[in-house]
């Protein structure tokens, strides 16, 4: 069986939210709209945009997600991703989307550092 990004996102959301986000349901009015931006605060390589985007869309297909940077290149920081739509969906998806970005960007950043460390040494 081939695991897809959608499958992984569904599993992560099930683990993080269970069957629903009771906090957002209790505190955010139904129909409320929001815009969120994810910012990279430290130098490194951003990776994991696709699962992060899918996380927002999995909770509400009408959430508009925008990439604000290129994936897989070293950068000093800045805006990474935006999401606009249902406030409940955005707040419910936020932690899971950040988990994907933090983990995958961390691996990509460490890999880039290792590549830089052996650059010019002939190591392969």
Q: Is 100 a domain residue?
A: yes
Q: What is the mean pLDDT of the segment spanning 17-21?
A: 90
Whether residue 112 is predicted with pLDDT greater than 90 in this model: the reply is yes
Q: Is 13 a domain residue?
A: yes
Q: Is 35 a domain residue?
A: yes
Q: Is 124 a domain residue?
A: no
CA distances 41 to 38, 44, 55, 75, Å, are 9, 9, 21, 10
* Host domain of residue 55: 5-118
Q: Is 123 a domain residue?
A: no
Helices (H) and strands (E) in the chain, counts: 4, 5
| Average pLDDT of every residue of the chain | 96
CA distances 26 to 18, 38, 89, 105, Å, are 16, 24, 13, 32
Q: Is 18 a domain residue?
A: yes
Q: What is the mean pLDDT of the segment spanning 87-96?
A: 97
User: What pLDDT was estimated at residue 115?
Assistant: 94
Q: How many domains, the chain?
A: 1
3-state secondary structure of 70: coil
Q: What is the CATH number of the domain that holds 60?
A: 3.90.1170.20
Q: What is the mean pLDDT of the segment spanning 62-88?
A: 98
């Amino acid at each position: 069986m081939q695991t897809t990004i959608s499958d992984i996102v569904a599993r992560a959301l099930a683990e993080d939210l269970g069957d629903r986000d009771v906090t957002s349901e209790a505190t955010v009015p139904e129909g409320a709209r929001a815009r969120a931006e994810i910012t990279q605060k430290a130098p490194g390589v951003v990776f994991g945009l696709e699962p992060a985007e899918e996380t927002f869309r999995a909770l509400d297909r009408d959430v508009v997600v925008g990439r604000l940077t290129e994936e897989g290149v070293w950068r000093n920081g800045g805006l990474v991703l935006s999401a606009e739509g249902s406030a409940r969906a955005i707040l419910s998806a936020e932690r899971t989307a950040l988990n994907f970005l933090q983990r995958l960007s961390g691996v990509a950043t460490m890999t880039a550092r290792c590549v830089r460390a052996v650059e010019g040494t002939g190591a392969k």
